[in-house]
Amino acid sequence: MIQQSKEVYCNSSKDEVGIPIFHQPEWLDIACEHENWEVITWHLDNQIVGALPYRTGKKFVWNISLMPPLTPYLGLWINPKFSQQIKQSKINGKIEQILDKLSDNELTSFRNIPAFAGNLSWIWKNWELDTRFTYLIYPNDFVSMESLDGKLRNDVKKAQSNLTVSTSSSIDELFQVVEQSFKRNQQKLPFSLEKLQKFHSLIQEKKWGEILVAKDKSGNVVAANYFLWDKHMKYNWLSGYTKSEVSRGAVQLLLFEGLRSAQSKNKIFDFEGGVIPGIGAMFKSFPVKEVPVLTARKFKNKWIKALWSLR
């Protein structure tokens, strides 16, 4: 059955431990300001086979649905438990039905989870697709200090000798180094401390993540990463660092620690971006696999499309 019902989704998702963190109702309540989201679900035998949560709202006089802040992925999720049992042709047909139930917005845009299958369904429904990439390391791609390439290994070891790594409960420490990273790149921080604090409270309550910080010998925080996780993935959600004599290798060290933890729990590690501009080149120094991320957009008319292209 295909239906649009937040109540059904919220009740069902309590038992669906496989739903990604960014699709969880509590996450969407914060990201979309509680009432400003809806969801279309595909149920089979009272279990969720697929779900498409989406943001609602207006921009000026237009109904526009864009990715919510601090939410790297949303879009359509297909339950892995069923994706191996149901033919792709049937899944594609259901995806089309789900897309047909979406509100008739002037603009709708999603960034799907990595390696999402079902591109043809979007094309057949006149969506415009754009493929970007994230960097993943799978549990069977075991990464040790010895497996790192020379420069990365040297940076991590140097950071280990100069810095100490620990968990932190302070969202302010993280926010300060992330803010400094954006200022260094002359870019505006795309979220507020207040919004981040709301997410932090939820994450700590649900035990969905932790902050790792690297401190110098004087106890100053030189780098911080916020890692999140769900059943299958661990995400490098937010990261930042200060520019100092001992900060070299600090981000790499925190990523290495986060990666080792993910592998010990048999989770895929997603470098995801960490919001620092231009950091993708450093991610590639790890033994990553480049995985496509499908962005899908649909415009109601050519004028909205033209305005979007000029944004």
Under DSSP, the state recorded for 6 is H
One-letter amino acid for residue 299 of the chain: F
Query: What per-residue confidence (pLDDT) applies to 82?
Result: 79
Give pTM, 2 decimals.
Answer: 0.92
End-to-end CA distance of the chain: 38
SS3 (DSSP) at 138 = coil
Name residues whose C-beta falls within 8 Å of residue 126's C-beta, 6 or more positions apart in sequence: 298
SS3 (DSSP) at 87 = coil
Q: What is the dihedral of CA 281, 178, 26, 104, to 10 degrees?
A: -60
H or E element that contains 154: helix 150-162
For residues 304 and 125, what is the distance between their CA atoms, to the nearest angstrom?
A: 18
pLDDT digits (tens, 9 = 90+) for 210-224: 999 999 999 999 999
pLDDT digits (tens, 9 = 90+) for 230-286: 999 999 999 999 988 888 899 999 999 999 999 999 999 999 854 455 577 788 889
For the record, the structure tokens of 297 come out as 């957009």
CA 114 to chain centre: 9
Query: What per-residue confidence (pLDDT) applies to 187?
Result: 85
For residues 179 and 134, what is the distance between their CA atoms, to the nearest angstrom?
A: 23
Query: What per-residue confidence (pLDDT) applies to 275?
Result: 47
For the record, the structure tokens of 103 come out as 């509100």
Q: What percent of the chain has pLDDT over 90?
A: 54
SS3 (DSSP) at 100 = helix
Domains of the chain: 2-133+293-309 (3.40.630.30), 142-286 (3.40.630.30)
Pick from 2, 57, 50: which is nearest to 28 by CA?
57
Q: How do the pLDDT tens digits run along the chain, 311 residues long? A: 888 888 888 887 776 778 999 999 999 999 998 779 999 999 887 788 889 999 998 877 788 899 999 999 999 998 888 777 778 778 888 889 999 988 788 999 999 999 787 778 888 888 999 988 899 999 988 888 988 888 899 999 999 999 999 999 999 999 999 999 888 888 888 899 999 999 999 999 999 999 999 999 999 999 999 999 999 999 999 999 998 888 889 999 999 999 999 999 999 999 985 445 557 778 888 999 989 999 999 998 788 888 777 76
H or E element that contains 160: helix 150-162
